[in-house]
Amino acid sequence: MVKAVVLGAAGGIGQPLSLLLKACPLVDELSLYDVVNTPGVTADLSHISSIAKITGYLSPDDGLKKALTGANVVVIPAGIPRKPGMTRDDLFKINAGIVRDLVQGIAENCPKAFILVISNPVNSTVPIAAEVMKKAGKFDPKRLFGVTTLDVVRAETFVQDITGEKDPSKTVIPVIGGHSGETIVPLFSLAKPKVNIPADKLAPLIKRVQFGGDEVVEAKGGAGSATLSMAYAGFRFAEKIIKAMKGEKGIVEPTYVYLPGVNGGDVVAKENGVDYFSPSGAEKANNILSELDDNEKELLEVCVKGLKGNIEKGVDFVHNPP
Ligand code: NAD
Ligand code: LMR
């Protein structure tokens, strides 16, 4: 039985993500939680004739506890999005506390669930989630993921403009590092099948993947950030987790994790000097790093510098609350 939960289910990402999970035949039960509007979203989705039984809760009356009890996959898109001119780190002030409290709920009600963190700044909210789980004595690094799939999806899509591939999702492009600007490092040299990118087009392509989020924030002009493409990406990642839970082997998807706790990650952590990082599939992390070209190595250096501060800020928030 798979029980999936969406925390922040009434939001711009939460609603389409909940729709995709409701329609997914691998989900037996779907529970929605938000501080507003969950009853309406739940009633609406409940008319869809798919397998998943749906329930929805608001915050009073133990809503979080009821939503989380029995969960094995919890996706968290709760929190405020950016407006033009803001960085993801500007969201920390509000979203850090939201993620901390929701993860505390997970520690108390479904500590063995897979936790998929979407709320920004992911580079910091994942360390926050880890520290909360550690404090509760429930941390399993193999069950905590920062969702960076949108960066992978963007890399697949934007490279298609150059290669003309008919189906962009057929090109596998590792994207490593974190999830904000220069901490996002797409590795086009390691694309499979190989892609030929003219020298003058490579730097703008990398930049577009790194700052793809800004493109959407600007286009929405104050009405939020990516929601529909994020719901697609979040569902793609959640579906892979569910398939892995059900025993499917060979699933590789970049995601931001606590490196020392995942296979091969301790070596990458030592090499880079950061504990949180998205390797390209934990088991292959080491091989991939040794295969980077010179330009990618430079990008990685910048990435790691940025990540260090973001990680420290998240860890510190849990141990020395403001
Ligand atoms: P939104 O404002 O449309 O929705 C957020 C929802 O969270 C709202 O419904 C709100 O009521 C709810 N919420 C707030 N506090 C809550 C709490 N304590 N418990 C439960 N729910 C709560 O925002 P959005 O566009 O859906 O974005 C959500 C987050 O996802 C933002 O932080 C955004 O930056 C992030 N995001 C991440 C990625 C990524 O790639 N990881 C991509 C896009 C957006
Ligand atoms: C994105 O990459 O689209 C998200 O992280 C949202 C944002 O703030 O850019």
pLDDT in tens, 162-185: 998 888 888 999 999 999 999 999
Q: Which pLDDT score is estimated for 290?
A: 81
Q: Are 236 and 271 in contact (CB under 8 A)?
A: no
Best residue among 5, 32, 225 to mutate for probing ligand 1's pocket (most ligand atoms within 8 Å of CB) is: 225
Q: Is 47 annotated in the active site? A: no
Best residue among 118, 227, 253 to mutate for probing ligand 1's pocket (most ligand atoms within 8 Å of CB) is: 118
Q: Are 155 and 253 in contact (CB under 8 A)?
A: no
**Which protein residues touch ligand 1 with a CB less than 6 Å away?**
7-8, 10-14, 33-36, 77-82, 91, 95, 98, 102, 118-120, 122, 147, 150, 179, 224-227, 230
Q: Are 145 and 256 in contact (CB under 8 A)?
A: yes
Measured distance CA(288)–CA(303) in Å, rounded = 16
Tens digit of each residue's pLDDT, the chain (322 residues)? 999 999 999 999 999 999 999 999 999 999 999 999 999 999 999 999 999 999 999 998 899 999 999 999 999 999 999 999 999 999 999 999 999 999 999 999 999 999 999 999 999 999 999 999 999 999 999 999 999 999 999 999 999 999 988 888 889 999 999 999 999 999 999 999 999 999 999 999 999 999 999 999 999 999 999 999 999 999 999 999 999 999 998 888 899 999 998 888 888 888 889 999 998 665 555 557 788 999 999 999 999 999 999 999 999 999 999 8
Structure tokens given for 71:
């969960």
Strand, helix or coil for residue 162: helix
Q: Which atom of ligand 2 is nearest to the CA of 230?
A: 3
Q: Are 143 and 113 in contact (CB under 8 A)?
A: yes
Q: Using the mean position of ligand 2's atoms as its centre, give its distance from the Cα of residue 213 in Å.
A: 4
**Ligand 2 contact via 209 beta carbon (within 6 Å):** no
Strand partners, 145: 116
- Report in angstroms the alpha-carbon separations of 90 from 56, 83, 86, 111, 170: 30, 10, 6, 29, 35
Measured distance CA(66)–CA(76) in Å, rounded = 16
Structure tokens given for 72:
């094995």
Q: Using the mean position of ligand 1's atoms as its centre, give its distance from the Cα of residue 194 in Å.
A: 36
Q: Which of 26, 35, 58 is nearest to 4 (CA)?
A: 26
Strand, helix or coil for residue 274: coil
Structure tokens given for 74:
């919890």
Helix (H) or strand (E) holding 129: helix 122-135
Q: Which pLDDT score is estimated for 281?
A: 61
Q: Using the mean position of ligand 1's atoms as its centre, give its distance from the Cα of residue 263 in Å.
A: 30
Residue of the CA atom closest to atom 9 of ligand 2: 213
Q: Using the mean position of ligand 1's atoms as its centre, give its distance from the Cα of residue 77 in Å.
A: 4
Q: Are 191 and 159 in contact (CB under 8 A)?
A: yes
- Report in angstroms the alpha-carbon separations of 177 from 66, 183, 188, 280: 35, 6, 14, 9
Measured distance CA(122)–CA(146) in Å, rounded = 6
Q: Which pLDDT score is estimated for 120?
A: 98
Q: Which pLDDT score is estimated for 287?
A: 56
